[in-house]
Structure 1
Amino acid sequence: MVAAAKVGLRVNMGRTEVIQERGPWRGVEHVEFETLDWVDWFNTERLLGPIGHMLPAEFEELHDHPEEAPALVAGLR
């Protein structure tokens, strides 16, 4: 439950970052596109400390295939 709360907090922080810092907006589609762009940046370019200073996309790949790096994944669980 705590992990879900942290994810929710991150999503809300990201949404606030996108909405407040990247306006003005031309419409809902523009907001949706910019939000997707932010999510892509967050997952593929931003190193995240709580998961070992890795990209979230890399961590997800290791989590999906733990046989490729069992010690790393085990240490982060």
Structure 2
Amino acid sequence: MARYDLPDEAWTIIKPLLPPEPATPRAGRPWAEHRKIINGMFWVLCSGAPWRDLPERYGAWKTVYNRFNR
């Protein structure tokens, strides 16, 4: 687990609060994993780095940024 990643205990509390991922694929790209996106948000907020410096393990920086702004 990386420095800013959510521990499993915190994730079990947060997961039911998030919208379910679509069961059937829609047009466009499939949804990125919620946990990966949230960990990416924490990485940017805690590190103070710009969104474009987000490590690839959290997904595309633009995806994380767009979900943060929703």
TM norm structure 1: 0.29
Task: Give the number of the structure whose alpha-carbon radius of gyration is greater.
Answer: 1
TM norm structure 2: 0.30
Q: Normalized per residue, which structure has more helix?
A: 1
